[in-house]
Structure 1
Amino acid sequence: MFFIPVVLLTLVDGVRLFLDWVREKRKSIYKILAGTVLAYAIVFCGIGVVKLDFVNWNKGDVRELVSAWYEADAYTSNTLVHQWEDAVFQFYLIHDQEYDESFQEQIYAAEIWIRTAEYSEMKEKLGEMGYLDMDEFYYICPVKQYTDSYQAFIDVMEDHGFEIKRVYEENTALLHLVRRLPHNMQSMLEEKKEECRAGGRNDS
């Protein structure tokens, strides 16, 4: 019990010394805190400006793309939208004076897989979704943000007999995919190619 008052006195004295030190160093501490807050404010504002510029640049790009989409009467065909562009595309789509809710029936947004899809996955997914069997459709996608995904899509569509018409292309692209041959003829051509490959393997 004797040690309890001693401990309390030691704690009180320690707190008093600490407060005295704080009072002596108050100006220095305030300067350090003010400098830290200012530095954080500058960094935060800088990041905000960069993000704002990027968002405004991207939105402006998609706004032009949507105008091109309407001018091309793309609402009469199917449109596939890359997951990254879907929200901004929908915003400008529905705020256009030509918009009709029926347009949504032919617009499909790909899921997040499309951001990282390589050739084999892109081919598999597009096949499952039926786009490889269509005679024509539109595709909206980022060009610079996901270059690998963009190139994989281009490669798959070209290999499946589609001509790619770039209706609009900046940082975001509006592509019109048109099959060079009717689908039944394209299927026959692919079957012939497979037969030739099989024949070559058998001969060897």
Structure 2
Amino acid sequence: MRVLLVEDDPVLRSQLQTLLEQAGYAVDPAADGQEALHLGATEPYDAVVLDLGLPLMDGLTVLQRWRAQGRTTPVLILTARDSWHEKVAGIDAGADDYLAKPFHSEELLARLRALVRRSHGLASALLQCGDLTLDTRSGTVTRSGVHIALTAHEYRLLAYLMHRAGQVVSRTDLIEHLYAQDFDRDSNTVEVFVGRLRRKLGPASIETVRGLGYRLVVPA
């Protein structure tokens, strides 16, 4: 899963980027509204964490322009605790949720997980495909109750496929959603990680659809 993090405070931005990366997200940071507007309009994200008090262009204007462009990416806005009018304006502008500063990191992660789930029509934090279970809260994966150890990239790939279980996902789509903008993207790395997952989950767990991409097989 790939997230756009928009926060002008360099210390908080760095802390949040580390938090999100440790939670398994690929993160693109942005320090001002103009950079955020450009990235949100040109890059595919699974969610956006958006501060409203930004230089060059305020977050509310950025959000309004994204929505006017037809961008439907889930957006979690960050506001000052007492700025109830900012919360109302943000929701009216198209935000999906808000979080008041200061906040607990676990609450931010929980709200972000919920936004991503809802955007894929999922209600539970536990993603299941047959006897395969991925717990988005703890970042653990089990098959028939047995823990499966995954690297960060393997987990990110599996999580993306499980959010789209039974659907064909193109290699390009995987690359765009698994890696941050500054990552050296190589389509061959996707094949490597798919191969590793097959060895850990079973060779029939992920199907290659020739010319189209990959699909996490849903048991009949």
Give the structure-1-normalised TM-score: 0.29
Give the structure-2-normalised TM-score: 0.28
- Larger % of strand: which? 2
Specify the structure having the higher radius of gyration (Cα). 1
- Larger % of helix: which? 1
